[in-house]
Structure 1
Amino acid sequence: MTQDDDSPEARSGRNETEEERLDRKWDDLLQELRVMQTSAQLTAGFLLTLPFQSGFAKLDDFQRGLYLALVLLAALTTAMVMTPVAVHRRLSGAHIKERVVDSGHRIVQAVIGMLSLMILGIVTLVFDVVIDRTISVLVAACVGVILLLLLVVLPRRLMRAYS
């Protein structure tokens, strides 16, 4: 194997410059953010309709507190989804694209975590209201394990398998 065969381009099967690679990674991040933005918006929309339902007044203190925590989490998640775009807008042309892409990557990871917490919170709230607290905690724990497997374990295993 020659030295050129060991280059990142040769290993990835792509023939792109560093700038093209960063542009591609940024485009990938933006596409991922679009998907997450839709999830965050739908979740926030669902949460914002609840107080206008007749049964909302029957929520106990735990359920109300969980609801308000979820609304806050939805607002913060929406802000986090917007952050990479704001960073890119502010730093565009500053010739630090690698830092912008790296920060976008880290923010996307945080958004995935925040969306996971929102999913767990919503599952807990809905099962708590519809059935009871014990079942809601058990179901949320099961969903939490599934999320952990899908969002943490699976990507790590795939990385190891293809490295």
Structure 2
Amino acid sequence: MKTPLALKIENYEKPIKELIGKAILSVHYYEIDYGEPYWNSIDHHSIDYGLEIKTDDDETYYFIWDKQFVCYDLKFTKGKIQQEFSQNANVKIHRITHQNWNEVIGKKVVSIQSVWSYILDKDGTIYYPETIQLKFINNRNVWISAVEIGEGITPCMADHISVFFDEGTMNKHNINSENKL
């Protein structure tokens, strides 16, 4: 018999597993319009809202920070990201052709895994999805995480999305560390 947490994780991953066997054809980042793009950090991508992908079967999916389980968790949904915006949203769209994404564009997703974190509060332990790992047929990985990287701090829950392309960078920023399932 599965635990309540195992069922929660299974239900969360079910729609994301739709990506298995599909190839990503394009990636767009959505961030507040500051006049110039701020997403391209030195060793990862830093997006203040989310990203949208289009797959080889003409479907669209997106990842944003949200509050499904706890404030600032990672939400994955089929559809267009614009459904999340208010009419007067000041959002800039960036079509991504960065080298790291180019290594997986057109390659099939072979597996997904969600990484859950937890916080302790007065009512006990609250578990929430923080990161999704997409593994591609060419053995490349992309991690999409609801964290923001700042100088000298260990990242945790944030109104932000960070994208990583190698495990070493994630370890450097303590993404694969304490409070993870």
Task: Tell me the TM-score range normalised by the shorter chain.
Answer: under 0.3
Q: TM-score, normalised by structure 1?
A: 0.24
Which structure shows the higher strand fraction? 2
Q: TM-score, normalised by structure 2?
A: 0.23
